[in-house]
Amino acid sequence: MKIGVLNIQGDVSEHFQMIMHLHKKYNVDPVNVKTIENLHGLSGLIIPGGESTVIYKILKKSGMYEKIYEMAVSGMPVMGTCAGAILISRDTGDNRVNGMNLIDITIKRNAYGRQINSFIQSINIEDIGNFNAVFIRAPGIESPGNSMIMATVNGSPVIVRENNILAMTFHPELTGDNRIHEYFVSMIDN
């Protein structure tokens, strides 16, 4: 089974390593996704954090935006972290970035403040347990819409799921704890 990690910017290598750690247990291999051709044959896709406007422009220019949308609507699981959550949302809160509308959430960019306001907080994630979530210039989920809220911080959703789509406003790849990646792998039909 191949899980793609979108390699435009952000914590690509960290997500890649998380999937590598799951290789023996789940027979999964990470795939570096830099072109539309790299999307072929994937069982799932991770869209990391980074700068959502830059990622959006590159996805649109390369044709990957439409292809990712098509694959996700056809059932391929997609996990978006931080900027990735912005890109897969229904409403990005930014007129420069059209969300893919893969998950019924409304996002607010930099909801927790600037880089200096970054923090780590222990959260209790449904089906996963306690997890030290890393928030870096994190967006906020203003409305979870029809998605299932899996954890909150101060009453605001920080990880949500809707069918084959998983979105979070934090960076699980920076923790050394691969349980969220393992949960994502479990979403994929073998």
Structural domains of the chain in order of their starting residue, each with its CATH number: 2-186 (3.40.50.880)
Q: What is the pLDDT of residue 11?
A: 87
Is 66 marked active-site? no
Q: What is the pLDDT of residue 190?
A: 47
Active-site pick, 14, 15, 171, 181: 171
d(CA 131, CA 77): 22
Q: What is the pLDDT of residue 189?
A: 66
Active-site pick, 15, 82, 162, 181: 82
Q: What is the pLDDT of residue 119?
A: 78
Residue pair 33/39 in contact (Cβ under 8 Å)? The answer is: yes
Q: Which residues of the chain have pLDDT under 70?
A: 113-114, 117, 189-190
Is 171 marked active-site? yes
Is 40 marked active-site? no
Q: What is the pLDDT of residue 137?
A: 84
Fill in the DSSP letter of residue 73: H
